[in-house]
Structure 1
Amino acid sequence: MGDKQQTDDDPELITLQETIYDLISRIRDPEKPESLEDLNVISESGVKVCRLRDGQLLAHIEFVPTVPHCSLASIIGLTMRSKLEQCLPEKLKVDIYIKKGTHDTADEINKQINDKERISAAMENPNLQKLVKECIDSGDS
């Protein structure tokens, strides 16, 4: 953590952290009508923003799938990433992770949702694009 400036004392980082939470908390769960916030998949404490030594901003998002074997955890991660890419500046680096101990295949999913090539390949699938869009759009209404 020595290369990072924590959020606590920087109003810009606190505001960005709150904005990120507001954007992703309203996303609809892929299987249920409730939002990620309603299902406690995402919480304010799971969103951290810091400034790296090189000045780049890093958002670290941790989420908890509804069940340890959730088959749509990777979709939830991709949906959050898509929403943030649509709404936030490009200079922001986003890392999304499943909270340790809350999913059976968390390590594999974490690699998938944080790998640019895997994300790009997944988002070429029209059915996946449609599902991600529906989850984002229903949260915006």
Structure 2
Amino acid sequence: MEPGKDNANPTILNPDDLPRRRRSTPSTQTKRGIFDVLAPAYPSLADPLSSPEALSDFSSDEDELDATAREEIDEQEVYDLISSITDPEHPLTLGSLGVVNLEDIQIIPPSSPRSRISSVQVLITPTTSACSLTTVIGLGVKVRLVNALPPRFRVDVRIKEGTSSSADEANKQLGDKERVAAAMENKNLINMVNHMLSSCE
């Protein structure tokens, strides 16, 4: 066993066995310009106001903007965001080591009709129960999701029950905003998390 590593011989999953989204056929819809969302397509001043075509075009454009403004995010998309994070001990990704799994990701819809806040819950499985970097891995996953997901999502990262001897302490730290903020003031920890996230697109 290599000195300094909690698990010098981790199990590595075959890349073909990792969950992937099937590629959909390209959309036939015309692409909008990058500023079109900022300036909605109002009927032209040259068009008569009573023209039903102009009014129907305007309302359909508004509906289309509403639909695209709130893009749905599913478990596969969350998995794609975090599976490419590099493990802090090995030059391998969390997906290839089985640290993050699609079945351990859950998107919880808003708790009331008035709320727009959804939750993303991710359970992490360390490569060994004695892993000393469990909290760092959880922190890397949390930072990646907080930065990548829209603000309407709350991120909850936890260590899967029964997979780590330090799960309770790690979960307390990952669930406490003040502890996470304090941890991200540590330069060594920031460098480690930045290295983990450097493999993400």
Normalised to the residue count of structure 2, the TM-score between the two structures is: 0.61
Distance 2:164 2:135 in 1: 11
**Which one has a larger percent strand, Structure 1 or Structure 2?**
1
1:35 aligned to 2:96? no
1:130 aligned to 2:191? yes
What is the correspondence of 1:7-46 to structure 2 with a 5 Å cutoff? Answer: 15-46=73-104
Runs of 4+ in structure 1 deviating by more than 4 angstroms, as ranges, are none
For residue 89 of structure 1, report the CA deviation from its aligned partner. Answer: 1.0
Distance 1:104 1:111 in 2: 14
2:131 is matched with: 70
The answer to which structure, 1 or 2, has the higher relative contact order (CA under 8 A, 6+ apart) is 1
Contact 1:61 1:97 in 2 (8 A): yes
Distance 1:67 1:119 in 2: 23
For residue 130 of structure 1, report the CA deviation from its aligned partner. Answer: 0.8
Distance 1:80 1:32 in 2: 16
For residue 19 of structure 1, report the CA deviation from its aligned partner. Answer: 1.5
**Which one has a larger percent helix, Structure 1 or Structure 2?**
1
Find the residue that maps to 2:158 and give its secondary structure: strand
Which of the residues 181, 186, 190 maps onto 1:120?
181
1:100 is matched with: 161
Structure 1: which 5+ runs fail to align? 1-11
In the comparison of the two structures, how many residue pairs are matched?
128
Distance 2:158 2:183 in 1: 17
Aligned AA for 1:122? A
For residue 63 of structure 1, report the CA deviation from its aligned partner. Answer: 0.9
For residue 50 of structure 1, report the CA deviation from its aligned partner. Answer: 1.4
Structure 2: which 5+ runs fail to align? 1-70
Distance 2:177 2:94 in 1: 23
Find the residue that maps to 2:123 and give its secondary structure: strand
Distance 1:131 1:66 in 2: 18
Bigger radius of gyration, 1 or 2? 2
Q: CA RMSD in A?
A: 1.3
Task: Output one character per residue of 1:71-97: Cα deviation in whole Å (capped at 9) or x when no partner.
Answer: 000000000011111111112111111
Task: Output one character per residue of 1:105-139: Cα deviation in whole Å (capped at 9) or x when no partner.
Answer: 10110010111000000000111111101100124
Task: Output one character per residue of 1:35-90: Cα deviation in whole Å (capped at 9) or x when no partner.
Answer: 00100001000110011223320111001001001000000000001111111111
Distance 1:106 1:34 in 2: 22
Contact 1:63 1:97 in 2 (8 A): yes
